[in-house]
Chain A
Amino acid sequence: MADEPGGSAAVTLAGVAIAFPLAGGAIYQAVQGIDLAVRPGEFVAIVGPTGCGKSTLLNATAGLLQPSAGRVSIFGAPLSGLNGRSGYLFQADALMPWKTALDNVAVALEPQGVRRGEALERATQWLTRVGLKTFLGSYPHMLSGGQRKRVALAQVLIRNPEILLMDEPFGPLDAQTRQIMGNLLLNLWAQDRKAVLFVTHDLEEAIALSDRVVVMSAGPAATIIGDFRVGLDRPRDAAEIRLDPEFHRIHKEIWSSLRAEVQKAYAFGEAG
């Protein structure tokens, strides 16, 4: 898969390394030697200990960040500038606080040249789909964390991107809300199966949602140390799937490779 010559993969990372300059002229090597391919319609989760550069990798795929070595290709074409074929769901609040939920979603269609009347109509439909029909006129600060994520999800999906990049999108939410959001995401995704690259530090969430779990080593110079297929049936319920014996088997298998890295990350964090 990773060695496939780019043709059919939605996202191909080949030999990608990313480094940041530090104060004092030193260089911090965040990730290196990353080979990864995401096929169209595939839901891939990246897990790894805190600070392993998962989000950095995602930003490189989005074009927000230039890799220091290697190549990022989107549907076979080398990426230059921002990745216009992808939608990005951020971990932090990314909604425009001065716009209502409706305007936040509708404005996402403006770059595509959709007329305002139509944009408002489609935004209303999308907010209804994510269960926020009665919150159209609410400003972000009036919404709960989970509701804001729903608006952000609608904002990203209304543009109908071919690739979805998600950076610990449900990280700040409580456990129950996370499961509800996970199910909402699975339902929406099942309708047209976009390629998804989902970064999380929560292994259970990764298994519950994805087709494939990619494990990264602890940073610095983090790389991919494991690639596991999740053979659980779809459609799934993000909460109930966790009781499935197969889920436990996969969890155990992946955790055995992840555990050492998590401990390494802690040791590094305490030493530094």
Chain B
Amino acid sequence: MTRFKLLLAQIGVGLVLLALWHLVTNYPIFGTVKNAQFFFSTPGDVMLRVVREFASGEIWRHLWITLQETVLAFVFGAGGGILMGFLFARRELLAAVFDPYIKAANALPRVVLAPIFALWFGLGIWSKVALGFTLVFFIVFFNVYQGVREVSPTVLANARMLGMNERQLLRHVYWPAALTWMFSSLHTSVGFALVGAVVGEYLGSSAGLGYKIQEAESVFDVTGVFAGMVILAVFVLVIDSIVTVIENRLLVWRPGPGGVGKS
């Protein structure tokens, strides 16, 4: 399928879904129109609300807050994950000792931490950054740990035969291997940074996209909730495409899908 046809198909799916939504909420198919609109709003109203949010400029402040939280959570989480993943992969004993604690911490549902973080770090952005950190850290940590341990033994033996010392091995072999694995989880970890930010805002804050949605929900403003979700979805798509651009620039050396790799 050509790029253009693919784009048409993607837009087509969206239009069909919107049309269904419009039909169900504007014609008395399932119960009365009023009831349907109370529960599901209408695509027209939601779009109107989105436009109004941007027109009034109100939404930019919230987007900016959420973006800040996402970026900070990602930077700290990825940084910590890389550092610890490296350390544990190179120090077997440390990994063995901490293994049960790491597993326990990772299995904990992060949502239960949100009130604690709010208590510790206040209702500002830092409690959200902390929540995002706990999500991003483990993904990056496990990937880097795996990546460093699974460096090809031949590549490693070759580098050692070339006379590389520990520092040079770290720089030329372990580090790039770890980065590869980190980037392979980049989409997931950036997504989780955003989830942490939004959930944190949702559970207690005075700004951000999560706050906007929570605020609308508290007064049964379904249109507001959907408008918030639409803005969130677009925000996610924009961030994800930025990540893709970064990924493609940094991983030029990797074979493309299907093994064909002409760049």
Contacts and interface: CB of A to CB of B under 8 A. Distances in A.
Interface of A: 62, 64, 82-84, 86-88, 90, 92-100, 107-108, 110-112, 139-142, 152, 155, 159
A95 B155 contact: yes
A100 B177 CA distance: 15
B78 to A, nearest CB: 18
A84 to B, nearest CB: 6
A142 B260 CA distance: 8
Interface residues of B, number: 26
Interface stretch (B8-16, B32-40, B165-173): B165-173
Interface string B242-263: 0000000000111100010111
Contact of A110 (B152, B168, B173, B252): B168
Given A90-B154, A90-B158, A98-B176, A139 B164 contact: no
A98 B180 contact: yes
Choose among A90, A112, A152 the residue with the greatest number of B CB atoms under 10 Å from its CB: A90
Contacts of A95: 155, 158
B161 interface: yes
A142 B163 CA distance: 26
Given A88-B161, A110-B168, A140-B253, 9 more contacts: A62-B161, A82-B163, A92-B152, A93-B155, A94-B158, A97-B253, A98-B176, A108-B162, A111-B168
Interface string B108-148: 00000000000000000000000000000000000000000
Given A110-B168, A111-B164, A139-B252, A96 B159 contact: yes
B232 to A, nearest CB: 35
Interface string B181-220: 0000000000000000000000000000000000000000
A222 B262 CA distance: 45
28 contacts: A82-B161, A82-B163, A84-B163, A90-B154, A92-B154, A93-B154, A94-B152, A94-B157, A94-B158, A95-B158, A96-B159, A97-B254, A98-B177, A98-B180, A98-B253, A99-B172, A99-B176, A107-B162, A110-B168, A111-B163, A139-B261, A141-B254, A141-B259, A152-B158, A155-B158, A155-B162, A159-B162, A159-B163
